[in-house]
Structure 1
Amino acid sequence: MNNLTTNNTIAYIMAGRRQRSRRYWGVTTVLAVISLLLCFLMLYFGNTIYSIDKIARVLGGEQIKGATFAIHTIRLPRMLAGLFAGFAFGVAGHIFQTMLRNPLANPNVLGITTGSSAAAVYCIVILHTSEAVVSVVSVAAGLVTVTLLYLLSRRRAFSIGRLILVGIGLDAMLSSVITYLLQKSASQDVPAAFRWLSGSLNGSKLEELPPLVITVLVLAPIILLLGKHLSLLELGEQSASSLGIHTDRTRIALILCSVCMIAMATATTGPIAFVSFLAGPIARRLVGVGHTNIIPAGLVGVILVLAADLIGQFAFETRFPVGVITGILGAPYLIFLLIRMNRKGDF
């Protein structure tokens, strides 16, 4: 009887694991297909709509009057910027939320993105540096912001609620720094800075994308490799350590990779609002528990950015930057989370 009960239990567990695995790969496949469809629509739609054959010929290197400039110079860089920045925002946000076990613990709310933005604005409107310098300074500023956030929120014991409150305050302070820089900058530099701060794919150029593409392609596999420990880190410090996980090294490596990705994305497209905030919870709701959801979160980030950009370009009489559309989606969810966490006493 005991053997029969044990066999039934094992069979039940294995069936549940197979079901979760099928759901994970099914949802991931659907998200990937939607991402590819949106990539195609980014190349297809514009002031002039070109045939699929003409788009393929331009992407293959053929020079076609009018189409080559529209597709290769304007639409392709815009699509690639949205693709890689959306993936970076989605993955980084999911890492922070999972590792700190709180949906508010993401780079947007904690001030990390704002730190990178403040450094980038300083380079743009005060120093007038190149894109390469802006990228390097943004990454460095993101790392400095994370360090400052940790030092300010650390007391005798680590508290996620304290970390979030300090992050919100840090975000407000850095936003004030950005406002001060804009007031002190030359009037001709302000419009460009505002376009960048709103989070936009406008003006993306192929020659400016390699740093972002290389960063994502190099760091994403590292995050995936370390991501198998995320579920263990969710159990808490003591439980993860007892299972043989070097928690400090794993956490530091994940934070460094995530900050580098999101800082580079911010330097390229500006701080696209709430993508890192929304991607993880949406992926978790679609896939369920039992997986790290890193790839689904990245794909959800891609979908949010590309879909929001298409909506901002073509759904209204006036064209809006992608960050405005994602901000409209994310702000109500942020308010809802703040109210719910306050009622639960998480602060």
Structure 2
Amino acid sequence: MTAPAGGPGAAVRNGPARPAGYGLVRAGRGSFLVHRRAAAVAGVLAVLLAAVCLTYLCVGESFVTPGEALKAAFGQPSSAGLVVGTLRLPRMVVGLLTGAAFGVAGALIQTVARNPLASPDVIGITQGASALTVGAMTYGITSYAVLPYLSVAGGVLAAALGYVFAWRGGLHATRFVLIGIGFAVALRSVTQLFLTKGDYTVAQQAQVWLTGSLNGRGWAEAAPLGWALLVLLPAVLWAARAQRTVTMDDDTATALGVRLNRTRLGLAALGVVLAAMATGAAGPVDFVALLAPQTARRLTGTAQIPLLCSALLGALVVVLGDVLARKLLAPTELPVGVLTAAVGAPYLIRLIVRGRAVGGRA
């Protein structure tokens, strides 16, 4: 006898109930849940990113047809081999990797702090990377083989100090953000001090780097960042799963046996390293880590910030921003950080005003 629809037999046939909006995807003997809307958004973003990348390879001082650009990008003989393969492609790859790293870093740090303002460029991480890098330039270290590692060290050190000062038997989100903002202001002053002490030529070079620019970037910057992101990929996959427990309230997570402080520390450390590496490769491209995660969350409607969509959005913002930076005032080329700041600063003000409005109603 067949059980009626919705009866006990249906639960046996269909398996355990799935959360609304999720679909079950089977891979071999295993299976996993996928948020349908997030998957659709990721697909659309990937298509948009591919279109922007093709535009990036075609547009410049000289126009290259899409066919020739694709041939040169994939190593086939092409009349655009020098322009695309040597100049535009490596610069675009740096932009892709930098944007993706900033997007994921912002998502992780905002998740830990539970605050949309907790971006690496707001709470002092990129300022720490900038201060140590500019200090090294001031004292004669200008090699791009060394500077990215100094940026990572500076970002990690700034985050560690902020974490220590914010710790009071646990990580309090509001205190962490406020202390980070204080460190950001102090470290920015240290950076300016280095600029005034350094040689004029070095100071000019450092000033361009501080705006966040892909100008002159190539495989020398792309390769180390790409390998580092590949090594960190398992940690990012762990972070995507660990996010679910961090967004719970502390009592619920503790009752489920989650080591909340360790998980938060791991997520924050991963976000700091990603942000510092991205800063080392392209300079502090401001507000990408602020914009990408919150935009991704609004597009997908998920409880957690989706890491894949944040990475795709970060890459899209940086690559599209660099296309516009090269063409808006041609032949003058703007640093990409100028455009991201022009978009991100009003968004930051909106977040602050909105937070005050919500607080006033409460």
When normalised by structure 2's length, the TM-score is 0.87
1:106, CA displacement in angstroms? 1.6
Bigger drift between 124-133 and 90-99 goes to 124-133
Which of 28, 34, 38 matches 2:48?
34
Which of 221, 225, 234 matches 1:221?
234
**1:156-182 deviation line (CA, Å, top 9, x unaligned):** 664322221111111011000110001
Number of equivalences:
342
CA distance in 2, matches of 1:14, 1:186: 60
CA distance in 1, matches of 2:164, 2:255: 26
CA distance in 1, matches of 2:143, 2:215: 17
1:211 match: 224
CA distance in 2, matches of 1:340, 1:153: 25
Contact 1:113 1:266 in 2 (8 A): yes
CA distance in 1, matches of 2:83, 2:154: 35
Bigger drift between 220-229 and 99-108 goes to 220-229
Bigger drift between 94-103 and 253-262 goes to 253-262
CA distance in 2, matches of 1:15, 1:278: 27
Contact 2:213 2:283 in 1 (8 A): yes
Superposition RMSD in Å = 2.5
1:197 match: 210
1:314 and 2:327 aligned = yes
1:329 match: 343
1:345, CA displacement in angstroms? 4.4
Distance 1:132 1:256, change over 3 A: farther
Distance 1:73 1:167, change over 3 A: same
1:124, CA displacement in angstroms? 2.2
* Residue type at the aligned position of 2:218: K
2:292 match: 279
Pairing of 1:102-113 with structure 2 (within 5 A): 102-113=115-126
2:67 match: 53
**1:206-259 deviation line (CA, Å, top 9, x unaligned):** 122211111112213311223212122111333222223222332222222222
1:263, CA displacement in angstroms? 0.8
* Residue type at the aligned position of 1:275: V
Secondary structure of the equivalent of 1:137? helix
Distance 1:161 1:15, change over 3 A: closer
Distance 1:15 1:336, change over 3 A: closer
Distance 1:268 1:16, change over 3 A: closer
Structure showing the higher helix proportion among its residues: 1
Contact 2:107 2:289 in 1 (8 A): yes
Contact 2:246 2:263 in 1 (8 A): no
Distance 1:72 1:16, change over 3 A: closer
1:87, CA displacement in angstroms? 0.1
1:73 match: 86
Pairing of 1:103-142 with structure 2 (within 5 A): 103-142=116-155
CA distance in 2, matches of 1:17, 1:130: 48
Which of 140, 162, 168 matches 2:181?
168
Contact 1:24 1:291 in 2 (8 A): no
When normalised by structure 1's length, the TM-score is 0.91
Bigger drift between 235-244 and 209-218 goes to 235-244
Contact 1:229 1:245 in 2 (8 A): no
* Residue type at the aligned position of 2:161: L
CA distance in 2, matches of 1:23, 1:72: 36
1:91, CA displacement in angstroms? 0.4
